[in-house]
Amino acid sequence: MAAAAAAAAAAAGNRGKVIEKSLPPKRGKLDEDSEKPLQEETGDNTKNAQKDKGLLVEVRVNKEWYTSKVIAVEVNKQSVRWKVKFDYVPRNTPKDRWVFKGSDDVRLMRPPSPISQTPDTQQEAEKGPAPMEPDTTQPGTSREVTDSLVTMLRTMLRYFFPPAFRIPKDDVNSISAEELVAFPLKEYFQQYESGLQSLCNSYQSRADTRAKAVEEKSNSNEVKLKEADEKLQKLRTNIVALLQKVQEDIDINTDDELDAYIEDLLTKGD
């Protein structure tokens, strides 16, 4: 009973007291302010890197440069990686791959060289444009020139098209200007030269075969001519021997004398 009374008294004494709990230390305003620029910088880097999507770049594969397009971007603390999709690559080569931005195997597509200006045009540019209505015909003219060049290049590609080229010949009719820029001309001309060399070798082989046949026929004719000449000489000898049996005093020493004597006999007989 005494112990229970003491416990009750202790509980009653603690009712008015506030139990203190340990709280985590408050973060200072300076710490929060120092983290914000780092987070903002990381976010800005990611946003800037995502702007690389759609870039036209060249990637080196097996010591050859191939045109491609950035289709995805991956950012981490140390580097930025691009996923590129190739326009044309050799057979048995993946159509896309991951590459590190800024590496020696990646470079931006070279922009077209600026049109050189003559001194007159430079002076006019320095003076500024003359007050006149804006020229709305130039864009159309530029498009017409581009379309004409594309049509001309298509015609040239079809004219020299290698028979076994990996791109179908009919696809050239619908190829765009951008695809023409990325067209694998090196591989195209290598196959064209290979086919041309094969054709030349075929013609040379045919010519050699015909020359050999003509030579063999000429040798055969020479043999036949020699045999005919030998038969003719043998026949002349027999005729002279026959005439000498008929007329012992006959004197024939040459082929011409024999021919004249036979012709004379035939004339007298008529």
| Structural domains of the chain, with CATH | 38-108 (2.30.30.140), 240-269 (no CATH)
CA proximity to 67, closest of 187, 189, 186, 179: 179
pLDDT of residue 116: 45
| Residue of 208 and 112 predicted with greater confidence | 208
pLDDT for the residue 82: 92
The torsion defined by the Cα of 27, 30, 35 and 41, in degrees rounded to 10, comes to: 160
The residue assigned the tokens 């985590």 is 24
Tens of pLDDT, residues 229-268: 999 999 988 888 888 888 777 888 888 888 888 888 888 8
Report the alpha-carbon distance of residue 105 to residue 65 in Å, rounded: 8
Is the predicted pLDDT of residue 18 greater than 50, yes or no?
A: no
pTM equals 0.36
Residues 6+ apart with CB under 8 A from 102: 80
In the predicted model, what is the mean pLDDT of residues 185-196? 91
What DSSP line would sit under 64-85, residue for residue? EEEEEEEEEEEE-SS-EEEEEE
Give the range with max mean pLDDT: 13-17, 116-120, 175-179, 250-254: 175-179
Distance (Å, whole) CA 59 – CA 179: 16
16: confidence class by pLDDT, cuts 50, 70, 90 = very low
Whether 28 and 44 have beta carbons less than 8 Å apart is answered as no
d(C-alpha 11, C-alpha 25), whole Å = 31
Q: Tell me the percentage of the chain whose pLDDT exceeds 90.
A: 28
- Whether residue 12 is predicted with pLDDT greater than 90 in this model: the reply is no
State the amino acid at position 43 in one-letter form: G
Structure tokens at 155: 């015609």
Question: 239: exposed, middle or buried (C-beta count within 10 Å: 0-12, 13-18, 19+)?
Answer: middle
Q: Residue 36 — pLDDT band, cuts 50, 70, 90?
A: low
**What integer is the mean pLDDT of 218-225?**
94
